[in-house]
Chains A and B, each alone.
Chain A
Amino acid sequence: MQLLFERRAERSRAMMLLSPLIALSLTALLGAVIFAARGLNPLEALYVYFIEPLTTLWSVEQLLVKAAPLILIGVGLSIAYIANVWNIGAEGQFTLGAILGSIPPVLFPEFQSPIVLPLMLVLGLLGGMAYGFIPAVLKNRFGANEILTSLMLVYVAGLLLDWLVRGPWRDPHGFNFPQTAAFQSWQMLPTIGPTVHIGVIIALIVALGLAFLLDRTLKGFEIRVLGSAPRAGLFAGFSRERMVLFAFLLSGGLAGLAGICEVASTVGQLQPTISPGYGFTAIIVAFLGRLNPIGVIVAGLILALSYMGGESAQVTLGISDKIAKVFQGILLFFILACDTFILYRLRFIPKRAPELAPAE
């Protein structure tokens, strides 16, 4: 028997919707196998991982809070990836946004005004954009591969943050802990409900706005053309260089915004670690969400669940919360594999009939 990938005439709409569902099912299946291999009851473990976090109001709120940065970064990355611009450095842009956005509370702690918080958000946005600007310029001027440059800049950003919180920005009254002074109430995002902050609302509005941009505007058209057929994009009169810059400024800016939102809510100060890898997980969010801003909202919730599940697995089952990373990796693997079926179908060719093979 022979297996053959056959190209479809058009992309299959059904598979575009089914692919993430199949990928999720396969992930759960493989997860069950891994749990079983660890000697756990796979059904119970899957329940603890995927269902338990949804059973209390508190944990649902936590889910929204964790999903917010994933969605905010994920929609930006989706736009970049549609344009065929591969920003892998959202984690670094997130960090720079957090650093720049923290200038008012750290350097001007006494400055109390209603404009402090908006100022912080704008600075966060600018920080991420500035950090996204670097790989964009390197690509446009020197043809440097943006996957490598943006990824390497992540580690530079991490070390910069580390140096700041251990050195010049360390809280003088903080008993030498590597962290800045805790933010004051006027430097924090307001909340709705006990823990849900307005970052969640911002993420939803941005996602809806970008969905509109992509589907209805000439800019969205330009993004899609340059992504899927660069030569046709040039023929249409669009500029590839300007698109690289636009995609990095947009995705970087949103990652930076997510960074300052995270620091000005959940974390409450700058410290060496401010993210459990949101910038990288958002890559999975973007693909699981079909690079579609609305899909990204759903995908952001699912990946947030994987973080929650990791925590509850650690507490209830006594296994490392690194299991969350394992699940995320498996999920990305299966999504990319299943996506093949959008443009291809698998065909079984019944057993080969005897073949005439003349001797040489």
Chain B
Amino acid sequence: MSVGEKKGAMPVEPSEVPPTRYILEAIGIDKYFGELKANDRVTLRVEPGEIHALLGENGAGKSTFVKIIYGSLQPSAGEIRWRGRPVIISNPAAARKLGIGMVFQHFSLFEPLTVAENIALAMPGDFNMRALSATIARISKDYGLPLNPGAIVADLSVGERQRIEIVRCLLQQPKLLIMDEPTAVLTPQEAEQLFSTLRRLAKEGCAILYISHRLQEVKELCHRATILRHGKVVAEADPRQETAASLARTMVGADIKIVKPQARRANGEVKLAVERLDQPADGPFAVALKDISLTLHAGELVAIAGVAGNGQSELFDALSGERTNARPEAIVMGGVKAGRLNVAARRKLGAAFVPEERLGHGAVPSFLLSENIVLTRHNADPDLIRQGLLHRSAAMAVSERVSKNFDVRKAKPDPEARSLSGGNLQKFVVGREMDRQPKILIVNQPTWGVDAGASALIRQALIDLARSGSAVLVISQDLDEIFEIADRIAVISRGELSEAYPADELTYEATGLLMAGAHEKPGTEGRRHAALV
């Protein structure tokens, strides 16, 4: 399908359209949310066949901008041109009609349905299931995205699920493909495979708008980069000519403090001991934990790597006490058998927890920040609650201290949690726990969806806490992060945890193999594992 040859419905005669080499031009895009200017005269041009990176910290306006391109938001001012022609993209359906496809960071797939059924749901008009399945098989093979149209989504790895979303876009023969942080959930091997698919697409003339905050992969993959800061375009660059550090500097507007692990002081006293922890799966899509053992000493930072959905959140819930264990000795915190204690009782033992999901789990979206302080500290902090009464000014003081120490940027002194950007809220949630000087800190995905500046701050704080004598456990999918901060690394795969190896004895490749299940015990082989294909 081609826009240029269309007669009839065109508002402007083809002869009047100025010839342009760009497929998409967004010119002077403004977007206000109330008083906040999320996009400030953003101009961006994309050529066919170009992989164009959109870089910026969280809250820099990247998501707002692509949502405007994809028609989910309307710009307050500015113009979008498609092949030189001014267009108004009033909704995502209109964007898809033009030839714009988008792969979101969070997939919208129905787990009990098959690959083909999920794709059929997104197709306009009638379709023939058999023909569709054949098309899916052909396209996925052509582009190196192996997919079985009859497979049930619940059985697939995150990488395979992402392929479904990509194939779904490819079926519409897009001229511009928007990818929102596509590698955030992939193993290094899966990411490499994705890159070759994207390169192939670009070679065929498809433009790709690539959003990421992993600078190394942007350097490797992208031809051009537009960098946003505070809603404005601050630079356009050729990432191949830049260093990761120079890109980061432009994004943040300052040098990012480098996290420097000091000499390790492991083999202190044991702070956290997990011993042969077993836990059945909680539902059809949950992962059972099998025979997990792990020891954390004072002063060390241990990281658990793994592909999403391999039992990380189940392990976090088991450690935090949101799900208790029948065996008290399965989890020992500071010498106390804690398996049957709930989260509040474990906090009293000096443990602190930061869950993966900020809104709705780590913080109550509709509550003020000061109230969110009380959320996790009401029983471990005698200042906040006196005789059952809330001490609001004390909570406010803690909130201020956390905001100051962790650089939480907010529009007013005590806003609702949901009004903060993701990175700022994460700094707040991490800071709230750090502020207690916990003996044990367990963090799930500490910098998930957080910009470079905030990530550096959080990682530094995690290391500092470990060096001050606490035991820190970080569950993360980000290998760069893990190698940056960890003293020892264990890998979780299908609910089983590998031994924790000293970080300097492991390579990315070895870790990738462990993530794909190389450490699993024989005989536990169940479903086909697809992290490495």
Contacts and interface: CB of A to CB of B under 8 A. Distances in A.
Do A and B assemble together?
yes
Interface of A: 2, 8-11, 216-221, 224-225, 228-229, 231-232, 234-237, 349, 352-360
Contact of B34 (A9, A232, A354, A360): A9
Given A221-B371, A357-B97, A216 B389 contact: yes
Nearest 8 A/B pairs, CB to CB: A237-B344, A353-B88, A354-B11, A229-B364, A9-B419, A231-B361, A358-B3, A10-B416
A355 B94 contact: yes
Contact of B388 (A217, A229, A352, A360): A217
B235 interface: no
B359 to A, nearest CB: 8
A347 to B, nearest CB: 9
A356 B85 contact: yes
B98 interface: yes
Contact of B390 (A2, A11, A218): A218
A10 B419 contact: yes
Interface in B350-388: 353, 355, 357, 360-367, 371, 374-376, 378-379, 385, 388
Nearest to B323: A234
Contact of B375 (A9, A235, A353): A235
A358 B90 contact: no
Contacts of A234: 322, 343
Contacts of B6: 356-359
Contact of A9 (B322, B364, B371, B418): B418
Contacts of B360: 229, 231-232
Given A354-B11, A358-B3, A358-B99, 6 more contacts: A225-B364, A235-B322, A236-B376, A237-B344, A356-B82, A359-B1
Nearest to A230: B360
B419 A356 contact: no
B320 interface: yes
Nearest to B391: A216
8 contacts: A229-B361, A229-B364, A231-B361, A235-B322, A235-B361, A235-B376, A352-B90, A358-B98
B9 interface: yes
B375 A236 contact: yes
Contacts of B374: 218, 221
Nearest to A232: B364
Contacts of B98: 356, 358
Contacts of A236: 343-344, 375-376, 378
A360 B1 contact: yes
A237 B364 CA distance: 14
Nearest to B378: A218
B3 A356 contact: yes
B502 interface: no
A271 B148 CA distance: 70
B63 interface: no
Given A219-B388, A228-B367, A235-B362, A355 B87 contact: yes
A218 B88 contact: no
Contact of A228 (B36, B365, B378): B365
A208 to B, nearest CB: 16
Contacts of A360: 1
Contacts of A237: 342-345, 347, 378-379
Nearest to B342: A237
B445 interface: no
B2 interface: yes
A233 to B, nearest CB: 8
Contacts of B11: 354, 356
A225 B363 CA distance: 10
Contacts of A10: 415-416, 418-419
A358 B98 CA distance: 7
Interface string B86-111: 01111000100111000000000000
Interface centre among B364, B376, B385, B389 (most CB of A within 10 A): B364
Contacts of A358: 1-3, 6, 97-99
A8 B366 CA distance: 12
B511 to A, nearest CB: 30
Contacts of B87: 355-356
B390 A217 contact: yes
A360 B342 CA distance: 58
Contact of B367 (A218, A225, A349): A225
Q: Which of B85, B360, B363 has the most chain A CB atoms closer than 10 A to its own CB? A: B360
Contacts of A357: 6, 9, 94, 97
Nearest to B7: A359
A8 B10 CA distance: 36
